[in-house]
């Protein structure tokens, strides 16, 4: 570690001495926090997700999340507790842990199995950039087998682009969509709305 610190140092002469800059200070801080988190050291917040306890550092949470920033800085009860316990049951523990891993490492893996849970969490935690990227991923996997569900999901979590694409696909491929398993669970109100489209393919 000492060698890496030396390699990242830039030293410049000044009028009355030298100025030392560490070009890798951001990486060192992030690595340091990740190691603390991995070893559960100096954690000061406990996240509860479906009865699973997940520890973290408030400083990392509020950097990435406007939700946590408000919680810990505007005088809510959690800001004065030494180890506040926060319930987050909106998504799976696996999704929450992967989002925390992103906060500590800058790396997030998104799959068809996790993308909706990640959007639910990023919507709640007000992590808009990550939420947007997850929606872009969903757009790429949009097809006749899932467009009805994506229509509902896009309406609920506010993706105009995905919503428009899902509706367009329903209009264009409706004869195929009625044969899918997803169509068997369509609500009467949704079906009624679809049948009112003047440009619906039949």
> In order along the chain (202 residues), what is the average pLDDT of each group of 10 residues?
60 92 88 96 97 97 96 84 93 96 96 95 97 97 97 97 98 97 95 95 89
> Alpha-carbon distance 91 to 101, whole Å?
15
pLDDT of residue 7: 59
Residue 163 in contact with residue 171, Cβ under 8 Å?
Answer: no
State residue 84's pLDDT score: 92
Instruction: Give the orientation angle of helix 128-140 with respect to helix 160-172, to 10 degrees.
Output: 10
Give the H/E segment covering residue 87.
strand 85-87
- How far does Cα 91 stand from its chain's mean position? 11
In terms of DSSP bridges, do strands 85-87 and 45-49 run parallel, antiparallel, or are they unpaired?
parallel
Domain coordinates of the chain in residue numbers?
Answer: 1-39
Query: Which tokens in the block code for residue 196?
Result: 């009112």
Q: What backbone phi and psi angles, to 5 degrees, belong to 18?
A: -135, 160
> Rounded to two decimals, what is the model's pTM?
0.86
pLDDT for the residue 1: 44
């Amino acid at each position: 570690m000492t060698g890496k610190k030396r390699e990242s140092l830039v030293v410049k002469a000044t009028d009355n001495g030298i100025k030392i800059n560490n070009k890798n200070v951001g990486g060192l801080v992030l690595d340091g926090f990740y190691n603390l988190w991995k070893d559960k050291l100096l954690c000061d917040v406990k996240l509860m997700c479906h009865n699973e306890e997940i520890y973290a550092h408030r400083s990392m949470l509020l950097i990435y999340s406007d939700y946590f920033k408000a919680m810990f800085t505007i005088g809510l009860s959690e800001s004065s507790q030494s180890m506040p316990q926060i319930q987050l049951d909106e998504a799976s523990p696996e999704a929450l842990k992967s989002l925390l891993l992103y906060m500590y490492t800058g790396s997030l893996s998104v799959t068809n199995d996790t993308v909706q849970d990640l959007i639910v969490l990023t919507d709640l935690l007000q992590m808009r950039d990550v939420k947007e990227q997850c929606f872009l991923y969903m757009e790429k996997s949009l097809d006749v087998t899932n467009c009805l569900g994506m229509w509902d999901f896009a309406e609920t979590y506010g993706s105009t682009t995905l919503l428009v694409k899902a509706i367009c696909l329903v209009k264009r491929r409706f004869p195929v969509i009625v044969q899918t398993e997803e169509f068997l669970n369509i609500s009467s109100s949704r079906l009624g709305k679809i049948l009112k489209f003047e440009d619906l393919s039949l």
